[in-house]
Amino acid sequence: MQLTEDKFRDEIVRPLFLKQGLRDGRDLCGPTEAGKDAVFAAVDPLGVTAIYVLQTKRGSLNLSRDVKQNVVEAATQLRVRPKTPHDPTS
């Protein structure tokens, strides 16, 4: 709980995902977003590239709005992020 979202993602979660064999891990941030998401890629046993998007949040999801609206907003961000152009081989 002492870490910021950035430090938690950069010092704990990203290294953990990379140690698990996922690639990339770059930060993505939309022009109107305050936070950053990280995107990872891995090739599954059938040779299909799977994309994993990580969104870190510090604290309660209901800090500024009602709980339901914040959960809906977080879920929407997770659905939209994979549609952002990304080249997992770069």
- pLDDT value for 86: 53
pLDDT at 7 over 80: yes
- 70 in any annotated domain: yes
| 88 in any annotated domain | no
- Token code pair at residue 47: 């040779």
89 within a domain of the structure (yes/no): no
Provide the residue range defining the domain that includes 39.
5-83
The winner for highest mean pLDDT among 8-22, 23-37, 74-88 is 8-22
pLDDT in tens, 23-59: 988 877 766 666 677 888 998 889 999 888 887 776 6
The domain tally of the chain equals: 1
* Whether the Cβ atoms of residue 85 and residue 26 lie closer than 8 Å to each other: no
What sign for the dihedral angle of Cα 71, 72, 75, 80?
A: negative
Residue 12 lies in a domain: yes
